[in-house]
Structures are given as structure tokens and as C-alpha cells.
Amino acid sequence: MDGTKTDIINRLQRDILALEGCTSLRAGYPVRSGDLSVMDAFPYKMFPTGAVHEFITATLEDTSATAGFIAALISTFLPATGVVVWVGSRGVFPPALKQFGIEPDRVFFLEPIKKREIQWIVEEALRCQAVSAVVASWNELSFTESRRLQLAVEKSNTTGFVIRHNPRQANPTACIARWKITSLHSSSVDDLPGVGFPRWNATLLKVRNGRAGSHIMEWAGDHLRESAVEGARIRELHRKTG
């Protein structure tokens, strides 16, 4: 009796999620995300592709950390021949995308100027099924605009990433998640000198039907992984106390 009840509830929950536009539950890209704890934050422990994610940044350093994190995320689900569209790409250095597992020649960089052009292009790109991911630099994203983006991705299962640099206000949007990425100290093997793998503190400020929280991750050359932050913290402690 109990079993059937939980089954029914589970099924109803799935249906509600699907109705809410959580499209990754309907056959999407296989996500090579391994066992990242950040996936627990999302419904059904799956990274939601076919949705729009929103990233808040404050400084240029934050923006670069965010761009790197987005590139790392994209490469976890990008098919071998996948195409990425990057809207408002001023300053992005294409060859660097290769380090995050994206072939830079598969990325189209578009430079719209007017706000209406940005909206039109992001929407069109999200609606295109042949495009795997769309990254857009879009500071003032209103609720209505984000709703339109959500409607666009629901048809195509394309994943959108909107970078909002210093938005005037953190208004509510229809995006599935709101992230804030900051860089953290990198660590190298056996404390060798030099700069190690890029490491981030990825904070999920809001997740629709999920759990907000902070996750520390790093890009280990070819995959995203949970970083052994405990060890680093202990080492840091040792260093301070001598």
C-alpha cells in the first residue's frame, strides 16, 4: 500500500516538474557530470539542460571565473559536434575555451549592440535545436524576458546561460537557477609551487524545486570535480600556525 502511494507521489512530482518546464527529464543530452554534489541540488539529481541558468557577477574577475565555470559546465554535456553560440562576447579569448574541452571553432561569437538585438538573438538561438548551448552577457534581464527565454528552450532543449554583470537589481526571473561563482585559491599536487587547476566556489542562490547551497569545484584539466577542499583547509591551517 505504502509502495504504491510513494509511486503515485513520485509520478505526480515528475509530471509537475515536466509541466514546469524541467525538460532534462524528457530525453536530453547525456550529462557526464559524474558524482558531483552540486547535482544533488537539482531535482532528480540531474543537471537541468534545456533550461536557462542565470549567473550574477560583480567584478571582472568574477566574470572570468563565471565564464570559465560555464565553459566547464557546457563541456560536460556538449556532444562531439555540438555548436555553441556566445552572445555579447567582448573580451572572451576564444583559444582559452579549448582548455575547458570546447573546440573554439564550434563557437559562434555574436556582438549585438542594442538591447532588442540581444533579446532577439538569444531567443532565436535558444529556439534552434541544432545549437547545444547559448551563453549571453545580458545585464538587465527582466522577468518577462526570462519567461520568454524559458518558453524558447522548452521547445528546443537548448541550454541557456545568462551572465548578469552588476545588475541594477537582483529581480526575480524565470530562470531555473541563479548562480554566483567566485574564484578560490587553487591547489597543486603535493604543494608544489605554481598555480594549480582553476577552482571555484559555486553558490546556488536559488534553484527551482531544488536546494540552494555552496559547492566547491575545480576543473581538473578534462573534467569538473569536487575539490578536496578539506585537505587544502588543513594545509592552510598548518601554514598559518607554523
Binding-site ranges for other proteins (CB under 8 A)? 60-61, 63-65, 67-69, 71-72, 79-83, 85, 89, 91-100, 103-113, 117, 120-121, 124-125, 128-131, 182-186, 188, 193-196, 198-200, 219
User: Shortest distance, CB of residue 3 to other proteins, whole angstroms?
Assistant: 39
Cα 185 from Cα 200, distance rounded (Å): 8
User: Shortest distance, CB of residue 161 to other proteins, whole angstroms?
Assistant: 14
User: Shortest distance, CB of residue 85 to other proteins, whole angstroms?
Assistant: 8
For residue 27 the three cell numbers come to 530525453
Nearer to other proteins, 48 or 82 (CB): 82
Place of cell 507521489: 9
Task: Please work out, in degrees rounded to the nearest 5, the angle formed at the alpha carbon of residue 16 by the alpha carbons of 46 and 41.
Answer: 30
* Side chain identity at residue 172, one-letter code: P
Nearer to other proteins, 69 or 77 (CB): 69
Nearer to other proteins, 16 or 60 (CB): 60
Nearer to other proteins, 44 or 108 (CB): 108
For residue 139, with 0-12 CB atoms within 10 Å meaning exposed, 13-18 middle and 19 or more buried, which class applies?
A: middle
User: Shortest distance, CB of residue 230 to other proteins, whole angstroms?
Assistant: 17
Torsion of CA 123, 75, 59, 138, to 10 degrees: 0
Nearer to other proteins, 19 or 195 (CB): 195
* Side chain identity at residue 120, one-letter code: W
Nearer to other proteins, 19 or 192 (CB): 192
Q: Yes or no: say if 134 and 84 are a contact pair by the CB < 8 Å rule.
A: yes
Q: Yes or no: say if 140 and 167 are a contact pair by the CB < 8 Å rule.
A: yes
User: Shortest distance, CB of residue 96 to other proteins, whole angstroms?
Assistant: 4
Nearer to other proteins, 43 or 82 (CB): 82
Identify which of 79, 98, 97, 65 has the alpha carbon closest to the alpha carbon of residue 31. Answer: 79
User: Shortest distance, CB of residue 108 to other proteins, whole angstroms?
Assistant: 6
User: Shortest distance, CB of residue 213 to other proteins, whole angstroms?
Assistant: 20
Quick check: helix, strand or coil at residue 56? strand
Torsion of CA 21, 154, 82, 76, to 10 degrees: -10
